[in-house]
Amino acid sequence: MKLGICVPMSHMIPAGFLINFINRLLELHMNGRNYEVRLYMQEGTVIDAARNKLVDQALDEGCDYIMFIDADMILPENAIDNLINMNLDIVSGLYFTKGRPYLPVARIKDEDKDISHRYLEDFEIGKVMKVAGTGFGCILIKAEVFKSIKYPYFKFEWKEINGKQVQLAEDLYFCDKAKAAGYDTYLNTGIVCGHIGGEINLSHFLMYKEQILLDKAAREDVFECLMELDNIDKEEVELRLRTSMELRKAEWDKVDKDNSKEVLDYYVNNNYELYDHLKWHLNSRRPFDKKVLETIKKLYPDKTTEILDYGCGGGQMAFMLAEEGYQVTTVEPNKKSNEFMNIRFDKNREKRKIIHYPISKQLKNKYDVILCFDVFEHIPDEKFEDVVNEIKGLKKAGGIVLTTVSFGAQDIHPMHYDLTHEKKELLLDLVKTVE
């Protein structure tokens, strides 16, 4: 059996990889199974071109198996033998991304017909599972797979998903192409590899596993509440979340921007700001929300701390605080967002032991902490000072206001007003802590 080992690399390789690579080659020499091993290496930063060249070299020399090992991988003992023993068309070892939360470099799809992939989050160590695609850091492929699909085997491909152009990585391109030709991709979670740069291994993933499961539970909870709110199925919820920006923009485009009454009416009655808000807070905004939560827990360990989330959207931050036992009040003009919060807090009152009901129509209290994230840039100029003064009047002596703003850039954020010197002075005065 002829095994071609392909290593794409940049101009330098880590010493840790080299030592590990030599040890894995030594195992193949000592195992008594008479593999004929050929090594192929390709320098270059254009990874799809490098992979295509490596496969061509291996096929030209009649290799029966082609294995890719990236030059930042640390393979466990006997990894190559163990992959060969599985006798599968395409099978990968397990390794993890270099950034938090260190998810596996493997993707799944809810259905085979789906265009988009999503990260694998929930799995057991020591299992073999079918996946939609995987990285090529440690993967073994029978040569017949490459012979059954058309060149190029690897390609950075642009696809339109929900009206947006999205680039598909070269490894997922191959897996999709192989699947179309009848070949499944498998992941062996018992072959756990290290990933150099800092060196990432299973322990990094396990540190975040509990949080990943909590994030997944939060998404599922939001989905269920949206399904109940709009009387739609999960597929429609997913579609609205994916296209929330377009749906929101279509509503906003109907508004006369010079008519403050129409602008304010939009914020009260629109249907899709909620979806856009939740999509943001369950994805790219989630690390920020967690930092805010941890900051409040550190500064205000007393759960009787009174917190106001002003302009809370769908209430994700308020929900996280309420889960911790804080007394949270929300202010949100949008009717649909308030309906969503009613459903979510009622639904979770027993399950998550949420005591304090956060929605308030009248504000008669003063608060230790006022959250006002991404609100001020949406306030029409003639209403701006009134809103600032209202918030100032709600702050206790010694209380704090936490805020983020992103004025202007109407080409990207058409609902954002511009920052003026007067507005800046009002905001600086607002966030001062007065003892």
What letter represents residue 5's amino acid?
I
Give residue 278's pLDDT.
92
**Domain segments of the chain as ranges:** 2-200, 218-431
pLDDT digits (tens, 9 = 90+) for 373-418: 988 888 888 888 998 998 888 888 888 999 988 887 665 566 787 8
Q: Which fold has domain 2-200?
A: Spore Coat Polysaccharide Biosynthesis Protein SpsA; Chain A (3.90.550)
Greater confidence, 417 or 62?
Answer: 62
Give residue 325's pLDDT.
85
Q: How far is Cα of residue 8 from the mean position of the Cα atoms in its chain?
A: 27
Kindly report whether the global pTM for this prediction surpasses the value 0.95.
Answer: no
With CA atoms as reference, report the closest residue to 91 among 193, 3, 195, 188: 188
Q: How far is Cα of residue 99 from the mean position of the Cα atoms in its chain?
A: 11
CA gap 376, 384 in Å, rounded: 8
- What is the share, in percent, of the chain residues with pLDDT greater than 70? 88
Q: How far is Cα of residue 34 from the mean position of the Cα atoms in its chain?
A: 45
- Token digits of residue 381: 């100029």
pLDDT digits (tens, 9 = 90+) for 92-120: 999 988 877 778 888 888 766 666 777 78
pLDDT digits (tens, 9 = 90+) for 290-331: 899 999 999 999 988 989 999 999 999 999 998 888 888 888
Residue 227: Cβ-neighbour burial (10 angstroms; 0-12, 13-18, 19+): middle
Q: How wide is the angle at C-alpha 356 spanned by C-alphas 354 and 357, nearest 5°? A: 100
Classify strands 164-168 and 157-161 as parallel, antiparallel or unpaired: antiparallel
pLDDT digits (tens, 9 = 90+) for 130-163: 999 999 999 999 999 999 999 999 998 887 666 6
Instruction: Please give, one letter per residue, the 3-state secondary structure of 282-339.
Output: CCCCHHHHHHHHHHHHHHCCCCCCEEEEECCCCCHHHHHHHHCCCEEEEECCCHHHHH
Rg (the chain; Cα; Å): 27
Classify strands 133-134 and 106-108 as parallel, antiparallel or unpaired: antiparallel
CA gap 385, 311 in Å, rounded: 16
CA gap 163, 99 in Å, rounded: 28
Output the CATH code of domain 218-431: 3.40.50.150
**Among all chains, which residue has been given the structure tokens 């302009």?**
311
pLDDT digits (tens, 9 = 90+) for 207-242: 666 667 777 888 888 999 999 999 999 889 988 988
